[in-house]
């Protein structure tokens, strides 16, 4: 599964939002490129001695943190123009002694440096991220995969102490103990420069993994099974390629924007939706009564991912006949699950939502009760949501979890009156200019700063 969307270290300057709700949205909005794919591609650029140019990269805090880490290691980067194009040029040898520990500890993505670095550095250290407020996730599945490439890791004093054993047998076939997105990506990154074929079973076939495979193919790495749970990587020991690649659009942002239209009972067109990765979510809400129109398919800039434009219409919703729960792709995405607590609050009847992946995230969904919702916490993984309810504006402090924070913001768009959402810095970790783009649809949101 994907890693928790949390912000382990809040930014120093608090940002708050004042929302005047009850306004109908209208118009169209375009989905930005994927946060999770962008981060994976930045880590993958460490495999390449040549310059990597990534197109339309989301300018979000998570990307900025990875760039700070790369810069501290000697990697040069520059933004090209205003469209989010990013050029990354590595040095002849990385300086791992000067790594920006503060930036590294603010992102769990730092663990995806292990796969690329084990090829050139027999010993190295990486800081690991701070505590996770959604319940700890073990890194053992990463270690199970990477040990097959000779990597061993010990942890002490807030660091991963990594060493690489020479002369190990070919990894051959690796069976992942968890079908995780970053676990799969780490195994693929390690295999990409291993001079033999490596087969990875129980692999995630989610959107960010597919984008990573498409990028590696541009580097000359032959990959079989992209989009399936069995991936075979034919590695290249040396990669020195001038490469230009455009990651695809973000299905989590797409579903966030679709949810904004649903809960405000608005007619909004969401453009450039990666349809393959939201089809289950659409099927669930269609069963609840959602009306929408789907345009013809076309390809993303990577030439592989299928996109559509979706127009959401005001709909009378009812609770689904079954519980809503996430599954590895092609199931309902774990990062999209929190939005169903909000959608269910707008529907007639009771909905059971089962977040079996994270121990504590369901707790944050009860913050919707401050706005009038009826969300009952059954245990750390399950909530019952009763609807429809009468929303009312209030003041709420943003939870440290990215998706529940956005859920609260979208609920405030529905609630009549004025609401205040405090400490929204976590939203900037995963969304580029979300407030400004919602304003273009007619949302009345004011940004202010202070304690």
The residue-averaged pLDDT of 68-74 equals 96
> What does the pLDDT read at residue 135?
40
Structural domain contains residue 1? no
- 308 strand-pairing partners: 273
Structural domain contains residue 196? yes
DSSP 283-312: HHHHHTT-EEEE---EE-TTSSSEEEEEEE
> What does the pLDDT read at residue 132?
35
Phi/psi at 159 (nearest 5 deg)?
-135, 155
pTM strictly above 0.85: yes
pLDDT tens-digit map of 97-144: 999 999 998 888 899 999 999 999 999 999 886 433 434 456 788 999
CATH number reported for the structural domain that contains residue 327 in this entry: 3.65.10.10
pLDDT at 157 over 90: no
The percent of residues in the chain predicted with pLDDT above 70, rounded, is 95
CA distance 16 to 398: 9
DSSP 77-91: EEEETTTTEEEEE--
User: Do 210 and 226 touch, CB atoms closer than 8 A?
Assistant: yes
pLDDT at 450 over 50: yes
User: Do 249 and 33 touch, CB atoms closer than 8 A?
Assistant: yes
pLDDT tens-digit map of 384-438: 999 999 999 999 999 999 999 999 999 999 999 999 999 999 998 899 999 999 9
User: Do 174 and 187 touch, CB atoms closer than 8 A?
Assistant: yes
The residue-averaged pLDDT of 24-39 equals 97
CA distance 1 to 324: 17
pLDDT tens-digit map of 303-333: 999 999 999 999 999 999 999 999 999 999 9
Phi/psi at 356 (nearest 5 deg)?
-80, -10
Which of residues 223, 245, 267 is at a domain's end?
245
pLDDT at 242 over 70: yes
Same domain, yes or no: 55 and 126: yes
User: Taking all residues of the chain, what is their mean pLDDT, rounded to a whole number?
Assistant: 93
Which of residues 245, 267, 297 is at a domain's end?
245
Q: Please state the domain count of the chain.
A: 2
Domain that holds residue 253: 15-32+249-449
Structural domain contains residue 292? yes
């Amino acid at each position: 599964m994907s890693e928790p969307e949390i912000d382990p270290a809040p930014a120093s300057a608090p940002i708050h939002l004042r929302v005047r709700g009850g306004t109908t949205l209208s118009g169209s909005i375009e989905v930005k490129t994927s946060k999770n794919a962008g981060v994976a591609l930045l880590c993958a650029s460490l495999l390449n001695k040549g310059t990597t140019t990534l197109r339309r990269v989301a300018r979000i805090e998570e990307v900025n943190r990875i760039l700070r880490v790369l810069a501290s290691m000697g990697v040069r980067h520059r933004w090209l123009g205003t469209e989010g194009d990013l050029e990354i040029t590595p040095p002849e040898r990385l300086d791992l002694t000067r790594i920006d520990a503060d930036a590294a500890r603010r992102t769990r993505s730092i663990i995806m440096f292990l796969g690329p670095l084990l090829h050139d550095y027999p010993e190295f250290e990486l800081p690991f991220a701070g505590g996770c407020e959604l319940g700890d996730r073990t890194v053992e599945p990463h270690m199970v995969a990477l040990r097959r490439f000779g990597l061993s890791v010990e942890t002490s004093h807030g660091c991963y102490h990594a060493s690489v054993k020479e002369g190990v047998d070919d990894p051959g076939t690796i069976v992942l103990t968890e079908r995780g997105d970053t676990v799969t990506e780490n195994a693929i990154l390690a295999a990409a420069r291993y001079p033999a074929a490596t087969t990875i079973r129980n692999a995630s076939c989610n959107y960010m993994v597919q984008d990573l495979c498409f990028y590696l193919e541009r580097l000359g790495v032959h990959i079989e099974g992209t989009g399936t749970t069995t991936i075979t990587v034919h590695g290249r020991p040396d990669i020195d390629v001038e490469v230009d690649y455009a990651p695809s659009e973000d299905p989590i942002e797409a579903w966030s924007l679709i949810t904004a239209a649903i809960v405000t009972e608005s007619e909004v067109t969401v453009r450039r939706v990666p349809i393959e990765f939201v089809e289950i979510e659409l099927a669930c809400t269609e069963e609840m009564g959602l009306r929408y129109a789907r345009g013809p398919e076309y390809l993303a800039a990577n030439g592989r991912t299928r996109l559509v434009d979706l127009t959401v219409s005001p709909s009378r919703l009812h609770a689904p006949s079954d519980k809503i729960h996430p599954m590895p792709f092609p199931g309902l995405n774990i990062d999209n699950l929190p939005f169903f607590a909000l959608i269910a609050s707008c529907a007639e009847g009771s909905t059971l939502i089962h977040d079996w992946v994270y121990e504590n995230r369901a707790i944050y969904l009860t913050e919707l009760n401050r706005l009038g919702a009826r969300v009952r916490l059954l245990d750390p993984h399950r909530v019952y949501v009763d609807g429809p309810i009468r929303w009312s504006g209030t003041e709420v402090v943003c939870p440290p979890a990215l998706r529940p924070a956005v859920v609260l913001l979208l609920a405030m768009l529905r609630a009549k009156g004025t609401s205040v959402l405090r400490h929204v810095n976590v939203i900037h970790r995963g969304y580029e200019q979300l407030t400004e783009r919602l304003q273009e649809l007619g949302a009345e949101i004011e940004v202010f700063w202070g304690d």
